Amino acid sequence: MANAVRLRPIVRGAVVGSVLRSDRSISLWGGVDPASGTIIDRRHDRHGESIAGRVFALPGEKGSSTGSAVLLELIRIGLAPAAIVTRHPSPAVTLGAIVAEELYGKSIPIFLATEAGFRALRDGERIDIAEDGEVRRVTAAAPRP
């Protein structure tokens, strides 16, 4: 990945974490279990995996308008992704993060990626995103066991 990757911060914050990238959008409600952070949408390619603590990169959030409630609850119980990066603006995701900040004083950063920026995020790779959206440090993806 080139070091020039820059994401657009939507809800600001710096983060370090490993990327969980999917090329499929998800509905957080009905798609992710709000009590555990596990993907429960059987049609989703990452079904069964947990988004907790990951830099969750996906094209967008779709479906029901309850997605923000799922994210708010995941943030409250500490099982939210470390950050969410989307290709397309996702109001439910942005809102969940903003309300968490206003209500609980804690949140997660949300970033918007260009097509190239999104492609540059490799699944499993550990990345460091600065508050301004610059992807500053990238280590090679850990070999899969």
Partner 1 sequence: MKLTAEDRRVLDGERGEAARFALSVIVRMAEAAGAERLLSIEQAHIDACALMSQSSLDLVSHLAEHDGRVSVPTTLSMVSLDLEHWKTLGVNPSFADKASRIAQAYQKLGCIPTWTCAPYQGYLTPRFGQQIAWGESNAVAYANSVLGARTNRYPDYLDICAAITGRVPYTGLHRTENRRATVHFHVERARARDWETPAAWAAFGSLIGSLALDGVPVMDGLPAFRPSNDMLKAFGAAAASSGSIELFHMVGITPEAPDLASASHGRPPSKAVAVTRRQLADAWDELSNADDGSPVDAVILGCPHVSYAEFVALSEAIARLGAARIRPNVQFLVFAGATTVELARRGGLLDPIERWGARIVRDTCPFHSPVVAPTARVIATDSGKCAYYAPGELKARVAFGTLGACVEAAVTGRMPRGEAPWRTR
Q: In angstroms, what is the minimal distance from the CB of 29 to partner 1?
A: 8
Give the number of C-alpha atoms closer than 13 A to the C-alpha of residue 97, restricted to the C-beta side: 20
Furthest C-alpha separation in the chain: 41
Residue 126 in contact with partner 1, rule: CB under 8 A: no
Residues in the chain: 145
Residue 72 in contact with partner 1, rule: CB under 8 A: yes
Please say if 64 is a catalytic residue: yes
CB-nearer residue toward partner 1: 51 or 70: 70
Residue 96 in contact with partner 1, rule: CB under 8 A: yes
User: Which tokens go with 71?
Assistant: 């994210």
Residue 108 in contact with partner 1, rule: CB under 8 A: no
CA distances from 17 to 2, 27, 65, 137 (A): 18, 22, 27, 11
Confirm if 88 and 60 have CB atoms less than 8 A apart. yes
Q: Rule CB under 8 A: choose which of 70, 82, 83, 108 binds partner 1.
A: 70
Torsion of Cα atoms, 3 then 17 then 22 then 124, to 10°: 80
Residue 115 in contact with partner 1, rule: CB under 8 A: no
Q: So which residues are the catalytic ones?
A: 64
**Contact footprint for partner 1 (CB under 8 A):** 10-11, 25, 27, 29-31, 34, 40-42, 60, 62-70, 72-73, 76, 88-89, 91-92, 94-96, 98-99, 102-104
